[in-house]
Structure 1
Amino acid sequence: MWAFLQKFSSPKYFYTLSGRLIPWFGWLCLAFLLAGLYYGLFVAPPDYQQKDSYRIMFIHVPSAWMSLFIYMVMAITAGIGLIWRIKLAEVISASSAPIGASFTFLALATGSLWGKPMWGTWWVWDARLTSELILLFLYLGVIALNSAIEDKRTAARASGVLALVGVVNIPIIHYSVVWWNTLHQGETVLPTLTKEAPSIHLDMLIPLLLMAVAFKLYYMTVVLMRARNEVLERERNTRWVQEMASAQKAL
């Protein structure tokens, strides 16, 4: 197992493997995205209270899930980079930050659009909304540190520390609707899946889960693409990169 992890952490092996995986992830993402949009827009019934306006949920909820998921990936890989000095972990962490920031912004924007007809306002300083906004600032802070510090290893250490400190915000976002009396609705999907207290219709749950899978596949596709470019930038003076560049020029 350790030998496999060491092999996978090799920039050259990662570059080759990721090049093979990206097309698969990309096509699967497209398939799940089209299926999720079709079921969400044309098959799922209107909500008995919110009518068709609730359909923004199929973008908003998966975006919010991804904002948390990507931050945890970024923080874990940052921690690996800090402890074991693995370059590829630093690359994945740095490559994840802009994608996570985009999903967080999308969650806030779609939440605002959904909140206007439901709450009568674009924004309230609700516990979940405020903690999600803080998450966006954490992402932007990591991006800023990676961009401002010229030395990649130093930038990775600085941004890694910030990413690990920011992990404390993740449980706050998740449990904010439990710990505080907020306008934001509580958990609906997990109770339905565990059959504890069904609160979302199956015809609405299916497209929601399809969109969640599509968003994860999108992240996997884009983070690998960004990481490949970052690996080439960092390894540009190594023999394997120069040989690959020479081979491409010869074609």
Structure 2
Amino acid sequence: MHRYANPTRFLKIARVATPIVALLGLALTAAGLWIGLFASPPDYQQGESVRIMYVHVPAAWLGAGGYMSLAIASATALIWRHPLATIAARAIAPAGAAFTAICLVSGSLWGKPTWGTYWVWDARLTSMLVLLFLYLGYLALSASEAEKGGEQRGAAILALVGVINLPIIKYSVEWWNTLHQGSSISVANASSKIAPELLTPLLLSVAGFSFLFGAIVLMRMRAMLAWARVDARSRRMAEALA
């Protein structure tokens, strides 16, 4: 694991992996959304509005999954001080915040025809909104600490504290009486309550969005490493001229 923490070695791998991951993401997302929006049948209860699912569910998955990745990267930075861990965390946070925002917006659009309102202070919705605030808090604190030249330990600690919100998101529909429906797919039991003709495009969309998330993180990490090198070179030139 430590050998991949070397920035030079990472960049060699990332240059090859980024276009592959991006193309896979685009292909799977296009296939999932095409089938989901145009070829799959409407739901027998929700009608055409169920098609929002093909954006909402992958976005929700990546909002929560992205935060877990952020916490793991932050823990790695705090404990083992991997040189790429903080960069990875800073690259993950904006992507995770964007997908969480997409989840909230698409969920509100789905809620209007389903519940008759765009927003209620439902446990699942509220905990997802808290997740967005955690992302934004991390981004603000990380930017502040980076500006001061610190190790961004405060941002990493905030990311770890925020993990407590993830089980609340997952089990909120079981712990409280909420409008939001329960889980339709169980990974533990390898079962689904969704009809196959709806499940197939959903899984394609989840896979596609996941690859796109990975491509965004890789591109951001490469850009941040390039900027760090340019900044270090500029400082050395300034010191030499001083």
Provide the TM-score with structure 2 as the length reference. 0.92
Q: Is the 8 A contact 1:189 1:205 kept in 2?
A: no
State the AA in 2 paired with 1:180: W
Q: Does 1:165 align with 2:146?
A: no
Rounded Cα–Cα distance in structure 1 between residues aligned with 2:189 and 2:197: 13
Residue in 2 that maps onto 1:105: 101
Q: Which string of whole-angstrom CA distances, capped at 9 and with x for unpartnered residues, describes residues 112-149 of structure 1?
A: 00001111111000000000000000000000011122
Rounded Cα–Cα distance in structure 2 between residues aligned with 1:86 and 1:213: 28
> Unmatched 5+ residue regions in structure 1?
243-251
**What SS is found at the alignment partner of 2:84?**
helix
Rounded Cα–Cα distance in structure 2 between residues aligned with 1:124 and 1:192: 30
Deviation at 1:199, TM superposition (A): 1.7
Tell me: CA distance 1:212–1:72, structure 2 relative to 1, closer, same or farther (3 Å): same
Q: Does 1:205 align with 2:199?
A: yes
> Unmatched 5+ residue regions in structure 2?
237-242
Rounded Cα–Cα distance in structure 1 between residues aligned with 2:8 and 2:47: 52
Rounded Cα–Cα distance in structure 1 between residues aligned with 2:132 and 2:211: 21
State the AA in 1 paired with 2:222: R
Q: Is the 8 A contact 2:58 2:209 kept in 1?
A: yes
State the AA in 2 paired with 1:113: L
Mapping for residues 184-203 of structure 1, pairs under 5 Å = 184-190=180-186, 194-195=190-191, 198-203=192-197
Mapping for residues 64-103 of structure 1, pairs under 5 Å = 64-103=60-99
Q: Identity over aligned residues, as a percent? A: 47
Q: Is the 8 A contact 1:192 1:199 kept in 2?
A: no
Q: Compute the RMSD of aligned alpha carbons.
A: 1.7
Q: Which string of whole-angstrom CA distances, capped at 9 and with x for unpartnered residues, describes residues 149-198 of structure 1?
A: 2145432x111000000000000000000111100000102279624xx4
Rounded Cα–Cα distance in structure 1 between residues aligned with 2:73 and 2:188: 32
Rounded Cα–Cα distance in structure 1 between residues aligned with 2:206 and 2:190: 18
State the AA in 2 paired with 1:204: L
**What SS is found at the alignment partner of 1:235?**
helix
Deviation at 1:17, TM superposition (A): 1.0
Rounded Cα–Cα distance in structure 2 between residues aligned with 1:18 and 1:106: 27
Rounded Cα–Cα distance in structure 1 between residues aligned with 2:160 and 2:202: 30
State the aligned residue count: 233
Q: Which string of whole-angstrom CA distances, capped at 9 and with x for unpartnered residues, describes residues 187-240 of structure 1?
A: 102279624xx421001001100000011100110100000111122334668x
Tell me: CA distance 1:53–1:123, structure 2 relative to 1, closer, same or farther (3 Å): same
State the AA in 1 paired with 2:158: L
Rounded Cα–Cα distance in structure 1 between residues aligned with 2:151 and 2:179: 42
Tell me: CA distance 1:89–1:152, structure 2 relative to 1, closer, same or farther (3 Å): farther
Q: Does 1:50 align with 2:46?
A: yes
Provide the TM-score with structure 1 as the length reference. 0.89
Rounded Cα–Cα distance in structure 1 between residues aligned with 2:149 and 2:206: 32
Mapping for residues 223-242 of structure 1, pairs under 5 Å = 223-236=217-230
Residue in 2 that maps onto 1:248: none
Tell me: CA distance 1:154–1:238, structure 2 relative to 1, closer, same or farther (3 Å): closer
Rounded Cα–Cα distance in structure 1 between residues aligned with 2:66 and 2:231: 30
Q: Does 1:154 align with 2:147?
A: no
